[in-house]
Amino acid sequence: MARYISSDTPIEFPEQDKYRRNTFVGSILKSINSAPVDKSTVIGLYGKWGSGKTSIINLIEAGINDSHLAEPLNADRPIIIRLNPWLFPNARELSASLMKQIADAYQKSKNAKARLLSKLILDYAAVICGTLTLNPLLIKLPAYAMFMIKTIEFVREKLIAKFFSQKTLSDFRSEIDFLLKNEFKKTIIVIDDIDRLEIDEICEIMQFVRGVCDFPNTVWVLSCDKTQVAEALDKRYGLENGEIFLEKIIQLWYSVPDPNNTDIHNLLIEKLEKINTEIQHGPFDIAAFHGYYSWGIKPLISTPRDLVRYTNLANKSVADCEDEVCLHDLFAIEAINCAFPRIYSLLLSKRDVITSHKGQPDELKLIISEIESIAGKKVDAVKFLVKMLFPYTASVIDNYHYGPEFEAVWRKECRLCHPSLFSYYASMNLNEGDIPRKEFLHFLDSLTNAEEIKRKLTTCTFDVYKSLLRRLEDYDGEYDEAWIVSGCVGILESTRRIIPGPSDNIFFDNHMIISRIVYRLLRQISDPLKLQTVVDDVFSQVDLPSSKSILLQIIGHEEGAGHRLCEEKYWADKRSEFYDRGIISTPEIINADPFFSDYIFDGLRPKLLTMQDCLVPEVFFRILKTRQSWASSSEIRTGRSERKLSLPIKWFYDELGYECIKKCLDDIVTNGIAGTTEDVHIVTVAYEILKEISNRPPLGSAE
């Protein structure tokens, strides 16, 4: 999957400027050009991290170079020096490192005087490195202390001068000043990211610029966050207001203007549109996105750095999720991730609460309360996105409640609020039994082929089988008429794999889902005669007796006002035809059909009354075991699960008599049909129930 990751590197040329800062840059260039020759000028460029200070410095440099583009290459041009304060091991060596960088810049020139200047600066650095610099607080010291310090400096200067061609510090400085004023055009020296240095390093730079290297005809451009630097000066010197001290060093300052919101959001829309068109993604609801963007995303993305970080996050998320999650939800969740990583982490850690209809109100209130405490002034935008992304939280935010029935819609729309999809987003792994969306859509395409449906549903794992049925149910109302016959046949034939286990509702749940899907498929046909033709077609293609019985139940289902899906006479005729075919006369067929016991008390019951030979021990025990598995958890806890056995035993007792039931139970014990401890318990309870309803002496037990 292609990714389009933007680098957070500054721009270098005017044509790359998306925020129309040319007027601002032009103002700084005018100040640089008009700076006096006989002294140094210090310009401050103030802005918070991510505001684009380095980009503006690059534009200033490009502007200076462009203004001298027509001059010959060997002509004297303004020299631009970019000092990097990071290229030194500690604060004590900062001045030497910066002066060496200045000397190296002059050394690269082809001008002989520039190389001479480079040597003078290196000698000057050698002399001055280690010299005591005056702390601003020394002015508060007693006169004798000031005298001692100045005396030490004078003696040290004389000693050092003895080893440097008998030149004093003043001699070196005079020669440097003369060359800069008379032999060179303006020198512009830039130091960026000052606010990211340690406190001692920040103070060292300020002393360096204003005291050590305040060369004439030189313009210093210091880029920093004014607040951060002022706080560093406060801490270092114990000042009450570091900004006042900063203003004594910097004569002219510019604050980076905030980009025009229109420019930022035009660029943001441009980048999101690129993601939409060039990366494979899930469904995209443009109306939902407009709401997300206006009330949630736009207030959270307000700086150029926000824009780069956000689009990178969105890019990665869309590329990773492909078509599993809808695009507008990914855009929204990544806006929260960009602006408030702590809130994003909170949502991930509480995903079981915010995506479940069983989430406790108290838990949701705690989550929303924590979001409010983190989001600050942008709380409205964050809460809007949270309630739109995770509708169950709206019960706390807006007192608006959603029921679990919405989860089918959310699943179909690939919404993050569906538990399985948010889990997938958080882990980049599908839950057990889930299948990729593209594979499910391929399954939908196969609904015109009954054999392909049957093959898919009977060869996949049981978890995938359950997932396919549930996801197919989500598409109610969108079933294609071409799916009806093949879909009904393939789904009904898959019932052969649904085998109930002890205390397991899989049997019942999937039977109900199958019934609902087939019912909704048939409901697409409004013409009664056409519907009867389709039912006949499905009936003729289905082999399993249980599948035919499900179909009969579906067409006989009474809707509102007592109306059935098919006409009552057609349903009654079909029912009689089914039960008169003798399809249950062979015990092996009954025993092979996993749905037999589900219908023993419905359609097949009248037939059993005339076919006592069908009540073989295997079939009877299967009926008992299935009824026992239907016990609820509360019935199992309270020891009343045996009541589920009463109904079949009483019914058979009333219809077939005591001796028939007694013989069946005895044969189950004798033939070893009850093979497990649980099986033995079921038969023992059956003996007791038969004793109670017949008022006879003890009959024995499975033990």
pLDDT of residue 433: 66
Residue 328 has a pLDDT of 95
Position 384 scores a pLDDT of 96
More confident residue, 459 or 575: 459
> Cα(100)–Cα(695) distance, rounded to whole angstroms?
112
Q: Which residue has the higher pLDDT, 599 or 503?
A: 599
- Residue 389: pLDDT band (50, 70, 90) is very high
pLDDT tens by residue, 338-370: 999 999 999 999 989 999 888 688 999 999 999
Q: What is the model's pLDDT at position 159?
A: 53
- Across the strands, what pairs with 190? 82, 221
Interval 582-609 mean pLDDT:
43
Question: What is the C-alpha to C-alpha distance for residues 144 and 698, in angstroms, rounded to an integer?
Answer: 120
Reported pTM: 0.62
User: Where does the pLDDT of residue 374 fall: very low under 50, low under 70, confident under 90, or very high at 90 and above?
Assistant: very high
The residue-averaged pLDDT of 614-621 equals 65
State residue 97's pLDDT score.
Answer: 78
Q: Over the stretch 92-141, which tens digit does the pLDDT of each residue have?
A: 567 777 788 888 888 887 778 888 888 888 888 877 764 433 333 333 34
Residue 331: Cβ-neighbour burial (10 angstroms; 0-12, 13-18, 19+): buried
**Strand segments (E) across 9-64:** 41-46
Question: Phi and psi for 216 in degrees, rounded to 5?
Answer: -70, 160
The two tokens of residue 123 are 């000698």
Whether 75 shows a pLDDT value over 70: the answer reads no
Report how far residue 251's alpha carbon sits from residue 41's, in angstroms, rounded to the nearest whole number: 7
pLDDT of residue 134: 34
% of the chain exceeding 90 in pLDDT: 15
Instruction: Give the residue-averaged pLDDT of 330-339.
Output: 94
345 within 8 A of 367, measured Cβ to Cβ = no
Q: For residue 629, what pLDDT band results from cuts at 50, 70 and 90? A: low
Confidence of residue 579 (pLDDT cuts 50, 70, 90): low
Amino acid occupying residue 426: A
Interatomic CA distance for residues 156 and 148, integer angstroms: 12
Least confident of 183-187, 477-481, 535-539, 629-633: 629-633
> Does residue 591 carry a pLDDT above 50?
no
**CB of 421 closer than 8 Å to CB of 324:** yes
Residue 44 φ then ψ, to 5°: -100, 135
- Arithmetic mean of pLDDT, 434-459: 83
pLDDT of 606 reads 47
Least confident range of 145-149, 200-204, 523-527, 593-597: 593-597
Query: DSSP letter string over 153-195?
Result: HHHHHHHHHTTTTT--HHHHHHHHHHHHHHT---EEEEE--GG
What is the mean pLDDT of the segment spanning 1-22?
Answer: 69
Cα–Cα distance for residue pair 59/13, rounded to 1 Å: 6
| Long-range pairs of 421-425 with CB within 8 A, sequence gap ≥ 24 | 421/324, 421/325, 422/351, 422/355, 423/351, 424/321, 424/324, 424/325, 425/317, 425/321, 425/324, 425/325, 425/330, 425/333
* Count of beta carbons in the 10 Å neighbourhood of residue 455: 14
- The pLDDT value recorded for residue 624 is 75
Question: Which distant-in-sequence residues (6+ apart) come within 8 Å of 285 by Cβ?
Answer: 326, 328, 413
Least confident of 34-48, 129-143, 227-241, 621-635: 129-143
Higher pLDDT: 529 or 15? It is: 529
Return the pLDDT at 109.
Answer: 74
pLDDT at 33: 87
Q: First vs last Cα of the chain: how many Å apart?
A: 65
Distance CA 498, CA 505 (A): 11
Task: Indicate the pLDDT class of residue 691, thresholds 50, 70 and 90.
Answer: confident
Arithmetic mean of pLDDT, 270-298: 92
What is the arithmetic mean of pLDDT over 671-691?
82
Average pLDDT, the chain: 77
Exposure string for 260-278, b = 16+ CB within 10 A, e = fewer: eeeebbebbeebbeebbee
* Token pair belonging to 597: 């016991």
- 395-407 pLDDT tens trace: 999 888 898 889 8
Least confident window among 154-163, 400-409, 480-489: 154-163
